[in-house]
A and B are shown apart, each in its own frame.
Chain A
């Protein structure tokens, strides 16, 4: 029965296409990415539609039948005008796509951004097969990430062993953790809630289980939680 419900519920998602985590952004970063996905999808649907229309049209119109069975089609080498058309139009479509691609990619490459003044700094360490999060006041958690809402968070990403990749689909794309190097990522969660986090780079036996939960809370709650955790260690 449970399985059945699950099946129905997911069928609805399947048909509406919404609610997919990547397309249900909770930060500006993820929203921009979601926009790019939908924008590129729309542009590409134009191409796809044209190809399918021509494909169905030609295939049905020129299919062999009793009338044309013995007909030898006229020799036709090509057509410079047509060929130029389908060289130039894709260029234009791609140029249109390139503009937001370049601007958003630049915007999102955190290495070039300076740390925002009111940022929360969190150190993220990946190891086979768990995540350690250290907060500014010395608190450390495992696979349990807490963030305040509406404040920029700067993650400093490091790996203890091999390459992992830090990913919270609703808050933004992933960034790799490279052993011996440091990466940064900045996001500002805009809504409270609990979001899934995952390791996205295959890292060995239990890669599948290398997940964490992200809880975005009100600022005051967050401060309270940090205090409580701090007391626990002391």
Chain B
């Protein structure tokens, strides 16, 4: 669409225009509602908070919003592919490529990651008997850095410069020679900034788990969600710096004319190695926490401790280690030679063993138990067969010579959605339904939860199962249309129907949140007859929840207390001092500064780069000079020194 303004003609694509109208409309609507309900103080409370539960809620809330955005993109993709030779709206060529690029990027980095990190924030400190995360201020910084990155990638669309080289951003397509527009700069800065936040979050998790466990909670008594968080945090600590480096080099190639990934001495294959050395651990980073959630949920809802605790822990550690040794399975068709290909084929297959151990342990946790099918358990139950299908196709893809056929087809698209939606997203939903009472003091509605579950799960299989066949019939991924002779119409058509079913399922989830806030079912501390420490503290979890500090003697302390001590946890005689909670405008201001900094690079504004660069450094100085420890020591309060 073109229009005249100040005697100049402007062009704006109708989809962008439409998105602006929707965004501004809902924005104004939300402002009006907030104002009417007089909730500004709540917003201020959350924006300046450093409390783990509130930061967790912020993560979950933003992840849900981004899930809706990337979900709409998924529906757009499915609309365009519903029939052969289709021309849906503007989504052909570049527009389509932008849609799947931002869909993938947002789903991985700004949906899967924050859903899980959010749940970790809410649950892990409470599960291990910590008063808060080890570094509350840094926790807030992590969140705001994540949000800055997410907003950068999201706003690119509104600046008509979406990234368009796929979520993998393969060079040389992603270099300035082939995609000179600002789109892939948004990708680089968005992931870079949020990546720093993620690394800080990982450090925080590790220190919290290592230093802040309740007395008696040995590592071997930690709930499995805490264990999976610990392993994930180490994976992040190793994998994300690789992404940082890769993006940094790509930034140099794009902005400053170097040629690491092209030309005589550079090679595009370097990018693939760097990206996948990060990228494969990344997919374990987003699945291992989900495994932890399922372990806790299945055990609670079967009224039994998890079967084979030790092998469960060993399995996630091995999955984490092997996760670093398989990246070439994304590059079988590059031609790295038979030795490399077979070695990586075999390491990849090996991951199936610890994963299988976990599946069977979950099944045997249910055996001889009493299985209550509450909404969290429904998601956990739906996960098992779904994820096994994804795992099975994963082993098939590991067969290097067979992957010459599978690679970059819809078979792969089906496979990774089976693992990421069937694993991560179902896990996140299970976790949200499970811990919602700890966040707000009331449960989500069961009836709506069931509707959400069934629509989402059935819709999921209808969407992605046929895609295996589309792939086997020769449909490459990342194509915006196909012909009738391709004989893949039926698979795509069914797939589109399923996608809309998932969309409706998601609406039920949103509706559920709305209804539950409107008419809350207050539910007390322990709505699920829980086993671990988080169910012993009030809902919503207060600041400094463990007072007095419990003494832990077993893997499921609360369950044991309910069986043998009338529900009273034994009290520890040593207590752990708490991290210092503050309220501060600094983290959110840092968000503003880092946005400015990134935008000045994306749009090459040199003076602003200097100014905002100085501001970033000034922030570091400011933080170095604020010291809560000395202040508290002067006031004579007991506090933690980590």
Contacts and interface: CB of A to CB of B under 8 A. Distances in A.
B308 A83 contact: yes
Contact of A97 (B309, B342, B395): B395
Interface stretch (A132-140, A143-151, A169-177, A214-222): A169-177
Contacts of A112: 337-338
Interface in A167-213: 167, 169, 172-176, 178-181, 183, 196, 198-208
A179 B268 contact: yes
B401 A108 contact: yes
B450 to A, nearest CB: 15
A47 interface: yes
Contacts of B458: none
Contact of A86 (B304, B356, B368): B356
Given A51-B385, A97-B395, A90 B302 contact: no
B305 A23 contact: no
B359 A51 contact: yes
Interface string B257-298: 000001010011100000000000000000000000000000
Interface in B135-183: 165-166, 170, 172-173, 178-179
B571 interface: no
A106 to B, nearest CB: 4
A163 B304 contact: no
A82 B359 CA distance: 13
Interface in B341-396: 341-342, 345-346, 349-350, 352-353, 356-357, 359-361, 363-364, 366-373, 381, 384-385, 388-389, 392-393, 395-396
Interface string A31-56: 01110110011001101100110110
A224 interface: no
B484 interface: yes
A77 B364 CA distance: 10
B178 A94 contact: no
Interface residues of A, number: 92
Contacts of A44: 392-393, 395-396
B335 A175 contact: yes
Interface in A1-22: 3, 6-7, 9-11, 13-14, 17, 19-22
B229 to A, nearest CB: 22
A114 interface: no
B526 interface: no
Contact of B356 (A22, A47, A179, A200): A47
B342 A178 contact: no
A87 B353 contact: yes
B407 A48 contact: no
B446 to A, nearest CB: 14
Given A55-B385, A105-B400, A208-B480, A200 B304 contact: no
Given A21-B474, A205-B94, A208-B479, A173 B489 contact: no
Nearest to A198: B476
Contacts of B335: 109, 111, 175-176, 178, 183
Nearest to A88: B353
Given A21-B474, A83-B308, A169-B405, A180 B267 contact: yes
Contacts of A37: 396, 399, 402, 405-406, 472
Nearest to B408: A200
A161 interface: yes
Interface of A: 3, 6-7, 9-11, 13-14, 17, 19-23, 30, 32-34, 36-37, 40-41, 44-45, 47-48, 51-52, 54-55, 58-59, 62-64, 68-69, 71-79, 82-83, 86-87, 90-91, 94, 97-98, 101-102, 104-106, 108-109, 111-112, 161-163, 165, 167, 169, 172-176, 178-181, 183, 196, 198-208
Interface of B: 83, 93-94, 97, 165-166, 170, 172-173, 178-179, 262, 264, 267-269, 302-305, 307-311, 333-335, 337-338, 341-342, 345-346, 349-350, 352-353, 356-357, 359-361, 363-364, 366-373, 381, 384-385, 388-389, 392-393, 395-396, 398-409, 466, 469, 471-474, 476-481, 484, 486-491, 493, 563
5 contacts: A36-B401, A78-B311, A83-B308, A179-B268, A181-B267
